[in-house]
A and B are shown apart, each in its own frame.
Chain A
Amino acid sequence: MTVTAAPVEKADVPVPTGHDMPRAVTALVFVRDRGIFVLWGLIIVAFSFWCAPYFATLDNALLIANAAALTAIFAAGVGFGVMTGVLDLSLPGTAAFAACVAGWLITNGQPIWLALVAGLACGVLVGLVNGLIALRGFNPIIVTIGTLSALSGLAAVIAGGYTFPGLTGLTFMGTDRYLGVPAPVYIVGLLFLVGTVFLTRTRDGIRLMAVGGNAEAVRRSGIHSDRYKVLGFVISGLCAALGGLVTAAITTEATPEASPSIIFNALTAVALAGVALTGGRGSLPRVLVGALILATIANGLTIRGIQPYWATVTTGVLLLASLLLERVVQTSVSNRLMASANLSVHKKQV
């Protein structure tokens, strides 16, 4: 048999070096990916002048960090979920349930470590249940709303309609300070460090992000993408349980009340961080800065003696502005890329 191969063309385009992107695109991508850090820096500088001399102090920085801690933990949960392509609304329920399970164990004389492990295990369990139900093809938003209400009910059942007060054994991870820094700040630092390394450096983390981006692509690569979807729910549930336990530690009380403001604050931080709800994009450090921005604004306005509801107004406006920016960046990047792609096909220099 004779194979009549058409002459194979040599690749006549020089191997690209990475500098073939238009400068404007590089700048726009920087704004998209790092803009929130710049924004936070600007807010800090502005408040430093406006609220001098009370704002730019170490004590106030710790105050902000501590105030941001709870939002940050829950935002990590939402962020993990969103990046994996699932929106987990059951977080407040999971938090309340985990806290009440831990509170019940402590009140009944069990050791602290067992209570904490049991609380975190609840988070994992809830994540598994959420994930396995959602995999059956049900809308994850509805599924997690269902588990939210089931869990807050269960928490109330455990608490017998009351709360578990006087959990003073938990202050080591609540109000205690180490080297002058409150315990929750360490917890947040560790959570985001481990989470970021996991998502960007490890095989499972990268696959998790890829499943969020395009589950079908991952499935066709011979990977069980369903397992990673469930993993996303599990990590989200784990973060929620951690948040519930830290809340209980700060207030030394476990309450079955699942406050919806938890999820809205967390979602605001995540959206402010420019993490697209369609999944597969975003980074945890940005989510952390999102939570810090919320706390920074509230803190600065409080120092100036401005009514706290203005903080909410400012946050809302910022959020809408960030959406607008995202859109502008997206369209101008694709316009410029389109132009340069057409150029490069015709082998002209950009």
Chain B
Amino acid sequence: MTSPALELSGIDMHYGYVGALAGIDFHVNPGEVVGLLGDNGAGKSTLLKVMSGAHRPSGGTIRVHGKEVQFHSPSDSADAGIQMVYQDLALVDPQDISTNLSIGREILRKGPLGWLGFVDRKAMRKRSEAELDRLGVRTAPMTRPVEMLSGGQRQVVALARGAIRVSGEANGVLLLDEPTAALGYEQTRQVEALIRRMAAQGVAIVLVTHNLPLCSEVADRVVVLNRGSKVADVAVADTEPDHIVGWITGARASQFA
């Protein structure tokens, strides 16, 4: 059994005297999609921020591929291979798809022009095409400005940007915050398929959502939080939506009480 891609144990989080998370154990394996559910204020966002390095937990340990790590900032977690895709996609609207996927990892031209910082747009387009092909989501030409894409296509570009950055030699972790909140039915289906494909390539995925059908469609396992504690951690195949709703609302007793 290989170690999980990301493992949190005994995570405590206090804001002053207010406890936001109490002793949370959480792990996600390579190639696994874990749905993180909970009502508003249950601690989903706080836990996600702990994973992405935006918050430092008051207690507990974080392990990435079995190695204990300390995140002091989001860039630490990015270096460890963890990428977060936010609800506001944060795309550069006037720039094309290729530029959006390549920014921060541009390909420079060979020779003296490269020393001056000239980029090789053709090579970047080719690479972006290959990367999107690998994810099976080439929906528009690489030269299309992002502002001219539909909502679903924009979401795909944002997801792909995260996926590209984590699926290097060591498979990373992708944290998705409500990836389908702004999408219609068919576009949601496309994004679901993309999430499954990324998992099939070995990326570990944590999916935060309010959308139960989405969760039962794409997640392998769900973790439910209620008032800062984990109340359920169960394979989707072994449960049913009514039970999950019960855990979310608190009507159903915690598995760990």
Contact = CB atoms under 8 A, between A and B. Distances in A.
Interface of A: 1, 3-6, 8-11, 13, 15-18, 20-21, 25, 201-204, 206-207, 209-210, 213-214, 216-218, 220-223, 280-281, 333, 337, 341, 344-346
Interface of B: 29, 31-32, 74-75, 78, 86, 88, 90-95, 99-100, 103-104, 106, 108, 116-119, 136-141, 143-144, 148, 150, 152-153, 161, 184, 186-187, 192-193, 196-197, 199-200, 217-218, 220, 236-237
A72 B115 CA distance: 30
Contact of B78 (A218, A222, A281): A222
Contacts of A207: 103
Contacts of A204: 117
A4 B141 contact: no
B239 to A, nearest CB: 13
B141 A13 contact: no
B186 A214 contact: no
B200 A222 contact: no
A6 B33 CA distance: 11
Contacts of A337: 148, 150
25 contacts: A3-B199, A4-B220, A6-B218, A8-B200, A18-B141, A18-B144, A202-B118, A203-B106, A203-B117, A203-B118, A204-B117, A206-B119, A210-B99, A213-B93, A213-B95, A214-B90, A214-B92, A217-B91, A217-B100, A217-B103, A220-B90, A221-B103, A280-B94, A281-B94, A345-B150
Given A1-B29, A218-B92, 19 more contacts: A4-B236, A6-B217, A6-B218, A8-B196, A9-B193, A16-B138, A18-B141, A25-B148, A204-B117, A210-B103, A216-B90, A217-B90, A217-B91, A218-B104, A222-B78, A280-B93, A333-B148, A344-B150, A345-B186
Nearest to B184: A345
A213 B94 contact: yes
Given A6-B218, A16-B141, A18-B141, A217 B106 contact: no
A149 to B, nearest CB: 33
Nearest to A347: B186
A213 B92 contact: yes
